[in-house]
Structure 1
C-alpha cells in the first residue's frame, strides 16, 4: 500500500509480498507502542487484588471500592472516540505523548494520595490520559506498518502484549501489595509511563493531515456523554443490580445520547464517526468480535479468581500460578497468531478463535466444589488460545482497506471495543452471578455452594454470549465476501 499524501510519518518498507520482517527502527517503534499499551492494560487490573487494603488505608466503605476502578474506566472508555478523531486532525504523536505525560503525572498523584478525593481525581486523570494514549498508539502502529504481513505481525505482537498486561497486572497487584503496599502499584505505573514518554519523541515521527476539517462538537458531546452514562450504569449494576433507579436512569440517558449521536452523524457535514465506515461489514463485525472476546475473557478471569480462592480455598500465590499458565499461553499464541492469520485468513481466524473461546469457557460449567484446579487451568488455557487468535484477527479485520487519514477513527473504534469490553464485561457477568448467588443463599445453601452456583451461571452466560457473537460475525463476514 502506497504512503498516503495525508501523512508524513515513516513507513517500514513493504518488501516482498509475504515478507513480515521489520526494520530495526520499526522494531524499536513497535516496542515503545506496545509498552504503552501494556502499561494501560496493567492499570486496568493491577488494583483489583489491592482494593481491600487500599480501602482500609483511604477509609473507603466496601460499597465505594468499585470507584477505584470505575473512576479510571469512565474517562478511559468515554473519551476514546473523541481523542482518536482529535489525533487524526491535530497529530497523533503529539497527543500520544501528551496522554503519556498526563497518565504519568496522575500516577504520581495516585501514589502520593493523602485521601479519597485526591486518589479518585488521580484515577480519573489516569483514565483521561489512557483515552489519549490507546487510540493514538494504535493509529501510529497502523500508519507505521503497511497493510499486509508487517501490519499483521505488529498487530499480533500488540494484541499479545495487551492481553498479557491485563493478566500480569493481576499477578503483580497481589505480590506488590503484600510486599510493598498498594501505593507501589501506582508508583510502578508512574515510572513506566515516564520512561515511555521520554523515549517517544526519539522513536516516533508524527503523521498529520494536510487539511484540518472541523471537529464535530455535537457528535463529540453526545457520544462521549452516552458512553460515560452507559459505562457508569454497567459498572454499578453489579453492586446495585439492574433494578436500581440510578442505574436505569443513567442507562436510559446513555442510550438516548447515543441515539442522538447517530442522528447528528447522519446530518453533520464532517462527522466524528463516518456511518459509512460502520456500514463496512469488516469494521462492524470485526469490532463486535473485539468487544466480545475482551469482555468475556476478562469476566472469566474475574469469576475464576473468586472460585479459586473462595470455593477451592487457594492462596493468592497459588491463584497467581493459574494465571501465570494463562499468560504463557497468551504469549505463545500471540507469537504464532500472525502465521495463523496468514494460513487461514483474518476472517476465518476470528470466527474460529471465538468458537474455541466459547467451547472451553463452557467446559468450566463442570467445575465443582472439589479440587478442580486442573480443569480450571486447562479450560482457561485453551480458551485463551481462541481469545488471542480473536484479539489479533479482529484488529486486522477492523482496520484493513481504510485510508491512512481514517486510521485514527478506525483504531479508535478498535480500542473502544477493547476498553469497553474490559469495562463492561465484569459488571454484566457479575450481575448474573450475584443474582444466582443470592437466590441460592435464600434457598438455604451455604456461601461456598452459592458462590459455586454463581460461578457456573456466570461462565454459562459468558459462553452463550460468545457463541451468539460467533453466529452473527460468521454470517456478517460471509455476506461481506459475497459483495
Structure 2
C-alpha cells in the first residue's frame, strides 16, 4: 500500500515574492500559538512527583490532570474548527490563548488537585481552539502543496518543541520556587502569543456550507467523556462496579448516536464522507494508534521518574528532550522528505522506530535511577514521532479539497489528540490494574501479622 500526499509532483514558486501577503507573520504567529498550547499540555509531565507530594494525590488523580486537558481538547476541537471557519482563525487562536492564560492562573493558585483539574480543563479548551485554528491559519496563506507541506512541518516542529521544552521549563522553575511558578510562566507565554497573533497573523475564514452542529457536539462530548471516565476509574474502582459499567455503556451509546446524527446532519462537525478518501482514512487510523503509543510512552516515563522514583524535576525533563526534541530539530529534514519520499515509507519507518524504542523501554529496571538506560529508547521513540507527526497531518490535508481544509484540520487534530488522550488513560489503566493484581498476589504469601495484613488489604482495595 502506498500513500501519496501529492507533494512530490507539485511544483510552484516558493520564493518570498510569490508568497501570499502576511505569509511570514501568520506562520510565525501559528508556530508560537501551537508552541504555547503544547507547553500547556506537557507541563505537568515533569511535575507529577511534586503534585503528589504537595497535593497528596493518589491512584488515578494524577492521570486526571492529563486526562482533563486532553478530554477538553478532543471534545470541542470539532466545534472550534467550525467556529474558525465561520468567524476567523485568528480570532479563534486569540480566544484560545486567553483561555490558556485563565486556566494557567487557576492551576497556579490551585489549593488542591481538583482545582488543578479545573485549570487543566480550561487550558485544554484553549488548546482545543489553538491547535486547529493555528494549523488552518498557517495552511490558508500557502499557495502550493510544497509550501503547505513546509508550513505543516514547521508547525509540527514547534508543537514538539513546546512538548520538549515544557518539562525543562517546569523543572527549572520548580527548582527555584515551586511548581506554581511554572504555570505563571505559562500565563506570560500565552499573553505574548495572543499579542503576536493579533498583530502578525492574517485573518482567514471559510464559512461556505459551515454552521454549528449542536446535536453532534453534545452526543460526541458526552460519549467521549463517559467512556474516558470509565477507562480512568475502572482500575481503581473496579471494572464491574455500577458507575464504571454505566459510564462505559452510556458513553458507547452516545458515540453511536453521534455517528447517526452526523450521517443525517446538513453541516456535520465530523463529515464521515472524508473517510471515503483512502489516504485520509488510513492516516486517521494510524494517527490515533501511533499517538496513543507515543503519549503512553511519555506518560510512563513521567510516572516512572516522578511519583515512582521521586527524581528531581530537571532530571525528569531530560528524557523528554529526547522524546520530543527530534521533531523540532529534524524539521528541515522532514520538510524535504515530505515531498520526496512516499508518505507510507515515512509512516512505516517512524512507527517501527517507536515500536523498537517502546520494547527497549519495557526492559528497563525500575529500581535503577540512572538516566543512561533511557537514552536509546527515548531517542528511538522521538525520531519515530518526528517522522510520523508531520506525515500524518500533511497526508490528511493534501488529500481533501481546499474548501474542506478547516474540517480536515480539525478532524486530523482531533484524531491525533484522541490518541494523546487515550495514551495516559490506557497506560494508567493497565499499570493500575497490574499493580493491584500484583499487590493482592503478594499479600497472599506475605508473612504479616493479622492486623497488618488487614490494613494492607484495605490499602489495596482503596
Query: Could you tell me the TM-score, scaled by structure 1's length?
Result: 0.80
What is the DSSP-based 3-state SS (H/G/I as helix, E as strand, rest coil) of the residue aligned with 2:143? coil
Residues 1:404 and 1:236: Cα distance change in structure 2 (over 3 Å): farther
Residues 1:221 and 1:313: Cα distance change in structure 2 (over 3 Å): closer
Residues 1:194 and 1:440: Cα distance change in structure 2 (over 3 Å): same
Q: After TM superposition, list the pairs within 5 Å mapping 1:150-169 onto structure 2.
A: 150-169=147-166
Paired with 1:210 and 1:264, the residues of 2 have a C-alpha distance of: 21
Paired with 2:168 and 2:234, the residues of 1 have a C-alpha distance of: 26
User: Do structure 1's residue 338 and structure 2's residue 335 form an aligned pair?
Assistant: yes
Q: CA deviation at 1:375?
A: 4.0
User: Do structure 1's residue 17 and structure 2's residue 11 form an aligned pair?
Assistant: yes
Paired with 2:133 and 2:198, the residues of 1 have a C-alpha distance of: 14
Aligned to 2:425: 427
Contact (CA 8 Å) 1:89, 1:212: kept in 2 or not? no
Aligned to 2:129: 132
Aligned to 1:384: 382
Aligned to 2:405: 407
Q: CA deviation at 1:17?
A: 1.4
Contact (CA 8 Å) 2:108, 2:184: kept in 1 or not? yes
Match of 1:40 among 9, 31, 37: 37
Q: CA deviation at 1:351?
A: 2.3
Residues 1:198 and 1:338: Cα distance change in structure 2 (over 3 Å): same
Match of 2:250 among 253, 272, 290: 253
Q: CA deviation at 1:21?
A: 5.2
Contact (CA 8 Å) 1:299, 1:429: kept in 2 or not? yes
What is the DSSP-based 3-state SS (H/G/I as helix, E as strand, rest coil) of the residue aligned with 1:344? coil
Q: CA deviation at 1:57?
A: 5.2
User: Do structure 1's residue 207 and structure 2's residue 204 form an aligned pair?
Assistant: yes
Q: CA deviation at 1:165?
A: 2.0
User: Do structure 1's residue 352 and structure 2's residue 349 form an aligned pair?
Assistant: yes
Residues 1:235 and 1:178: Cα distance change in structure 2 (over 3 Å): farther
Contact (CA 8 Å) 2:279, 2:399: kept in 1 or not? no
Residues 1:440 and 1:67: Cα distance change in structure 2 (over 3 Å): closer
Contact (CA 8 Å) 1:72, 1:126: kept in 2 or not? yes
Residues 1:442 and 1:378: Cα distance change in structure 2 (over 3 Å): same
Paired with 2:110 and 2:309, the residues of 1 have a C-alpha distance of: 36
Paired with 1:200 and 1:280, the residues of 2 have a C-alpha distance of: 33
Paired with 1:383 and 1:60, the residues of 2 have a C-alpha distance of: 29
Aligned to 1:275: 272
What is the DSSP-based 3-state SS (H/G/I as helix, E as strand, rest coil) of the residue aligned with 1:209? coil
Where relative contact order (Cα < 8 A, 6+ residues apart) is larger, the structure is 2
Residues 1:186 and 1:26: Cα distance change in structure 2 (over 3 Å): same
Paired with 1:171 and 1:147, the residues of 2 have a C-alpha distance of: 37
Residues 1:52 and 1:95: Cα distance change in structure 2 (over 3 Å): same
Q: After TM superposition, list the pairs within 5 Å mapping 1:179-258 onto structure 2.
A: 179-209=176-206, 211=208, 213-237=210-234, 239-240=236-237, 242-258=239-255
Paired with 2:217 and 2:272, the residues of 1 have a C-alpha distance of: 14
Residues 1:243 and 1:300: Cα distance change in structure 2 (over 3 Å): farther
Residues 1:326 and 1:265: Cα distance change in structure 2 (over 3 Å): closer
Aligned to 1:396: 394
Paired with 2:57 and 2:304, the residues of 1 have a C-alpha distance of: 25
Aligned to 2:7: none
Q: CA deviation at 1:403?
A: 2.8
Aligned to 2:140: 143
Residues 1:368 and 1:189: Cα distance change in structure 2 (over 3 Å): closer
Aligned to 1:465: none
Contact (CA 8 Å) 1:289, 1:390: kept in 2 or not? no
Any gaps of 5 or more consecutive residues in structure 1?
1-15, 446-483
Residues 1:272 and 1:35: Cα distance change in structure 2 (over 3 Å): same
Q: CA deviation at 1:435?
A: 2.9
Contact (CA 8 Å) 1:45, 1:169: kept in 2 or not? yes
Q: CA deviation at 1:358?
A: 1.5
Aligned to 1:474: none
Residues 1:327 and 1:275: Cα distance change in structure 2 (over 3 Å): closer
Residue-by-residue CA offset, 1:104-158 (whole Å, 9 max, x unaligned): 2332343344666655443332222222221111111221223422111111122
Contact (CA 8 Å) 1:235, 1:424: kept in 2 or not? no
Paired with 2:125 and 2:145, the residues of 1 have a C-alpha distance of: 32
Match of 1:107 among 96, 101, 104: 104
Any gaps of 5 or more consecutive residues in structure 2?
1-9, 444-462
- The range that moved more, 61-70 or 123-132, is 61-70
Aligned to 2:282: 285
Contact (CA 8 Å) 1:105, 1:190: kept in 2 or not? yes
Residues 1:304 and 1:370: Cα distance change in structure 2 (over 3 Å): same
- The range that moved more, 336-345 or 226-235, is 226-235
Residues 1:67 and 1:200: Cα distance change in structure 2 (over 3 Å): same
Residues 1:253 and 1:435: Cα distance change in structure 2 (over 3 Å): same
- The range that moved more, 414-423 or 165-174, is 165-174
Residue-by-residue CA offset, 1:330-383 (whole Å, 9 max, x unaligned): 333333111222221223212221122223322334334676754421122122
Paired with 1:332 and 1:48, the residues of 2 have a C-alpha distance of: 21
Aligned to 1:13: none
Residues 1:71 and 1:306: Cα distance change in structure 2 (over 3 Å): closer
